[in-house]
Amino acid sequence: MIQLNRLLIPFLFFFAFRLAFQIALDLLNISFLRRHSHTVPRPFQGVVDGEKFSEIASYTQDSTRFGILARLFDQAVLLAILLTGVLPWLVDRINGWDAGFIGGGLIFFAILAIFSSLLDIPFDLYSTFVIEQRYGFNTRTIGLWFSDWAKGMLISAILGGIVLVVLLVLVSYFEATWWILAWVIISIFELVILWLYPVLIAPLFNRFEPIADKELAQRITSLMERAGLAVKGVFQMDAGKRSKHTNAYFTGLGKSKRIVLFDTLLASHPEQEILSVLAHEAGHWKRKHVIKQLIVLEAFSFAGLFIISVMLDWELLYRTFGFDEQIRYVGLLLAPVVLSPLIYFLRPLGSALSRKYEKEADDMAVSLMGTPEPVRDTLIRISADNLANLVPHPIYAWFNYSHPPPVERIERLEAMREGDPRNVREQVSGS
């Protein structure tokens, strides 16, 4: 059965280490917040009062505590699945059905995926209907939640099924080179999905209409022309039927770029601020951040697939988790699971790169708007409306944040306004 050996011991060590590290970082962040909860940070004074500030603190605490609980549960289930011998038992049953390698692999992953999404349901419900509800964000009905869930399951079954069939076919027919072929095919598939997402998948969940305010649409188009971007359309999305959180995004590839504005954002921001949000998004496109991040991600997935391909032929991987035979579809599950505690520690690299891009996009927004004021005002309003934590612990933010913390971003914009020569230079090079 399961043996405590030179693979399982380091795996369990890193598994426990990651979990303890994640929880310690969460707790550190909460206690830092509590220690700084007496004074509202300067840029937010006058906008966020004492009451709002303590609401932000309790929203952060509630979501963090719930996150810790969900993670502990999730990791306990994973460990139980790996160590109780339930996987070899399951594979034995599947072998009895004579479905072949590809059929067997599909059944194996389908059972695990269904099991894990059923376990997620109570957590998703609690987060939506208790936490988000408590802070006045949730606007979803139970009916809408269920239809979202059903559609989400169907889409993951189709997309996940396609990727899985490709992997299983390649693994069974190309012993040594499967991972290179898989990398090429899956990368192309991802690009196709990125291209089709706005026209095929997003409309299943939301209604998209050209924005009603024609004058605003005209101003947006001329802003995009100034940025040198060809845009197919400016749409508003009925995000308010799910949540009051506000946002906007660019979507599509190449010439099919679309701008999508949440109706919640349109309702709560004055025009100059809406334009600054879009100027920031335009900055991401202009600086090719999406493509650059995609390239980095593809490089990591190339390395990851190579490592998995080596591990697939490693007899110890199977024996460690109670398998007598080397069934390669089982390896496709075990290898990433064993690697994941290590992969987690690469996160600060991704966060740092993303924060660098956010600064570049802010710079671009300032030069497109001609002044930092609306960009700063937008950030203040978005942070306050969405109850963003205004005092994250620096290590927590360094590890996890894809955006610089709000106060840091705002102070940077204010320094531009005050004509700090260092920032003016950045501003010029950012345009």
Alpha carbon distance 62, 224 (integer Å): 40
* Tokens 């070899």, residue located: 88
Tokens standing for residue 304:
């990851």
Closest C-alpha to 404, from 372, 363, 359, 365: 359
Helix (H, G, I), strand (E, B) or coil at 258: strand
> To the nearest whole angstrom, how small is the minimum distance from the Cβ of residue 293 to Zn ion?
11
Tokens standing for residue 110:
């389908």
Contacts (Cβ under 8 Å, ≥6 apart) of 181: 170, 174
Stretch that binds Zn ion, among 210-218, 263-271, 354-362, 423-431 (CB under 5 A): 354-362
263 vs 362, which CB is nearer to Zn ion?
Answer: 362
> To the nearest whole angstrom, how small is the minimum distance from the Cβ of residue 358 to Zn ion?
5
Stretch that binds Zn ion, among 4-12, 130-138, 357-365, 386-394 (CB under 5 A): 357-365
Alpha carbon distance 165, 159 (integer Å): 10
> To the nearest whole angstrom, how small is the minimum distance from the Cβ of residue 371 to Zn ion?
19
Closest C-alpha to 32, from 406, 326, 410, 389: 389
Interface with Zn ion (CB under 5 A), residue total 2
276 vs 320, which CB is nearer to Zn ion?
Answer: 276
Stretch that binds Zn ion, among 210-218, 329-337, 350-358, 405-413 (CB under 5 A): 350-358
Element (H, E) at 12: helix 8-35
Alpha carbon distance 363, 379 (integer Å): 13
Q: Does 91 bind Zn ion (CB under 5 A)?
A: no
361 vs 407, which CB is nearer to Zn ion?
Answer: 361
- Tell me the one-letter amino acid at 336: P
Alpha carbon distance 262, 266 (integer Å): 7
26 vs 377, which CB is nearer to Zn ion?
Answer: 377
328 vs 355, which CB is nearer to Zn ion?
Answer: 355
> To the nearest whole angstrom, how small is the minimum distance from the Cβ of residue 158 to Zn ion?
30
Stretch that binds Zn ion, among 181-189, 193-201, 358-366, 383-391 (CB under 5 A): 358-366
Instruction: Please give the angle made by the CA atoms of 409, 21 and 295, to the nearest 5 degrees.
Output: 55
Stretch that binds Zn ion, among 84-92, 248-256, 294-302, 360-368 (CB under 5 A): 360-368
358 vs 426, which CB is nearer to Zn ion?
Answer: 358
> To the nearest whole angstrom, how small is the minimum distance from the Cβ of residue 233 to Zn ion?
20
Q: Does 361 bind Zn ion (CB under 5 A)?
A: yes
Which residues contact Zn ion by CB under 5 A? 358, 361
